[in-house]
Structure formats: structure tokens, C-alpha cells
């Protein structure tokens, strides 16, 4: 199957700092990638859809100025959490459709990034 | 409102004790029903995609089935290594996830 990587796997930062998380599709191109957030013992919640060459689409309730998304190439999307606060601590996971680029083609997920804000 | 509901929330099985996990969905214009396995601290691992009622797919001890309103993940003779959270998701233009079933299989 398609492989998606994320970096870093874990990050601990102080309140008020910004953190960048990278998501890469390793063996396929992805014009669309998705960013999810998962709190302990809860399911995945879609935060935004990252589109190569255009602006990201954010879900209702997600602050676009706080969670900056850049889809720089067909294999790389980045999520920057700006001025992070303890309530932003969560597990962030990206995914990419394996074929067709449409939202519901099978999505392959990265290993996730655990963000802890002190 | 689009919704995906999974039951039970948690399931404890003895090794070899077969069972089924349920996923009920209400998704307008459903394009696919997906099953994933998630281990603690890791991203979801793709298991199955089902597109139409009556479709079935199998992989080792797992079989997924789909009706117009729900999907089942059948686990036959599970082993301890099958312990994980199983997520189902449905989508039209984006995926909506259920809250998952935490499966524990004891030797």
C-alpha cells in the first residue's frame, strides 16, 4: 500500500511557540492531503483539507490563522501550529488518498505526531 | 447530519473466540465505507474499503461486510496480536470516523 510519513513523531514545546509538522507521501503523489486531530480515547476529527497549489479548506471551528497549512509540492504538506497553548496538545495525523485524489478514495495515514505544549 | 456509530465501545475476547464489530452509518451520498486498525500511539492502518451493499472482503482472520445501513467486521478465531482499536469511517467528499471499538484478545 501507499506510504505516508510524518515528522517529527513527537514534539514538546513551550506555550507560545510555533511548531511545524511535515507530512510526506513517499511513493505516490497527492494533490490533496488531510489533517486530523485525535484526543485521548476519541476518534479522528478532520481539521482541514490541504490542496496542492491552492489554499487549504478548514473545517468549522478550526482556526485557520492558528493552524497554518502549506501544500508545497505533490508529496509534501506542512501543518504549523502557531502560538501553541496547552489545549493544542494532541495527536496530529495526516493522510493522503492513494489514487484519484478524491476525498473518499482509500486514505493512507501517517504514523502521527504527538504534540505536548507545556 | 452525517454520522458514523460503532459498537461495542470495548470488547474483550478469549483467544479463538469469534465475534463481530458493528458500524452504523448515516452518510449522504456515501462513496465508500472504510475499516482501519489503530494501535496505541500510531496512525490508522488501512484494512478494507467497501463500496456497495452486499460486498464482502476478507484478510486473514478479518472479514468486512456492508449493508445499506451498517457494516460488520467479523473476527474469526482472534489472536492476541489482533488487539487494537478498530475504526470505521464513511465518506462522501471527506471521511467521518466512528469512535472505534477497542478490542482486547487474551491468551
Q: Which residue of B has its CA nearest to A102?
A: B93
Whether B73 contacts B23, CB under 8 Å: yes
A46, burial (CB in 10 Å: exposed 0-12, middle 13-18, buried 19+): buried
- Which residues of chain A have a CB within 8 Å of the CB of B36? 109
- Which residues of chain B have a CB within 8 Å of the CB of A102? 31, 93
CA distance A112 to chain B (A): 5
Cell numbers found for residue B106: 487474551
- Give the integer Cα–Cα distance in Å for A116 and A106: 30
With CA atoms as reference, report the closest residue to A21 among A7, A1, A35.
A7
What are residue A88's DSSP bridge partners? Answer: none
**What is the per-residue pLDDT across A22-70, written as a single tens digit (0 to 9) for each?**
999 998 888 899 999 999 888 899 999 999 888 999 999 999 999 999 9
**What is the per-residue pLDDT across A71-109, written as a single tens digit (0 to 9) for each?**
989 999 999 999 999 999 999 999 998 765 555 578 899
B3, burial (CB in 10 Å: exposed 0-12, middle 13-18, buried 19+): exposed
**Is the model's pLDDT at B64 over the cut of 60?**
yes
Q: Beta-carbon neighbour count of residue B59 at 10 Å?
A: 10
Strands B45-50 and A113-117: unpaired
Q: What pLDDT, on the 0 to 100 scale, is given for residue B27? A: 84
Q: A71-105 burial by CB neighbour count: b if 16+ within 10 A, else e?
A: beeebbbbbebeebeeebbbbbbbbbbbeebebbb
Whether A108 contacts A96, CB under 8 Å: yes
Q: How confident is the model at residue B6 (pLDDT cuts 50, 70, 90)?
A: very high
Whether B25 contacts B33, CB under 8 Å: yes
With CA atoms as reference, report the closest residue to B34 among B101, B86, B106.
B86
B74 touches chain A (CB under 8 A): no
- Contact A111/B92, CB-based, under 8 Å? no
Q: How confident is the model at residue B87 (pLDDT cuts 50, 70, 90)?
A: very high
CA distance A18 to chain B (A): 22
Q: Beta-carbon neighbour count of residue A32 at 10 Å?
A: 22
Amino acid at each position: 500500500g501507499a506510504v505516508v510519513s510524518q515528522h517529527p513523531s513527537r514534539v514538546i514545546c513551550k506555550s507560545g511557540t510555533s511548531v511545524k509538522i511535515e507530512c510526506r507521501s513517499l511513493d505516490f503523489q497527492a494533490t490533496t492531503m488531510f489533517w486530523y486531530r485525535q484526543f485521548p480515547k476519541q476518534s479522528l476529527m478532520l481539521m482541514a483539507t490541504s490542496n496542492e497549489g491552492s489554499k487549504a479548506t478548514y473545517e468549522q471551528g478550526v482556526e485557520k490563522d492558528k493552524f497554518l497549512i502549506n501544500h508545497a509540492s505533490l508529496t509534501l504538506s506542512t501543518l504549523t501550529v502557531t502560538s501553541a497553548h496547552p489545549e493544542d496538545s494532541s495527536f496530529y495525523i495526516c493522510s493522503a488518498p492513494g489514487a484519484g485524489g478524491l476525498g473518499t478514495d482509500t486514505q493512507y495515514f501517517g504514523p502521527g505526531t504527538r504534540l505536548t505544549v507545556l | 447530519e452525517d454520522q458514523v456509530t460503532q459498537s461495542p465501545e470495548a470488547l474483550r475476547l478469549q483467544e479463538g473466540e469469534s465475534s463481530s464489530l458493528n458500524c452504523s452509518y448515516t452518510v449522504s451520498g456515501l462513496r465508500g465505507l472504510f475499516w482501519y486498525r489503530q494501535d496505541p500511539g500510531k496512525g490508522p492502518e488501512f484494512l478494507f474499503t467497501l463500496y456497495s451493499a452486499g460486498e464482502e472482503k476478507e484478510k486473514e482472520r478479518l472479514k468486512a461486510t456492508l449493508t445499506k445501513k451498517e457494516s460488520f467486521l467479523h473476527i474469526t478465531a482472534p489472536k492476541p496480536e489482533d488487539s487494537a482499536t478498530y475504526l470505521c469511517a464513511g465518506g462522501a467528499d471527506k471521511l467521518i470516523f466512528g469512535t472505534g471499538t477497542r478490542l482486547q484478545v487474551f491468551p
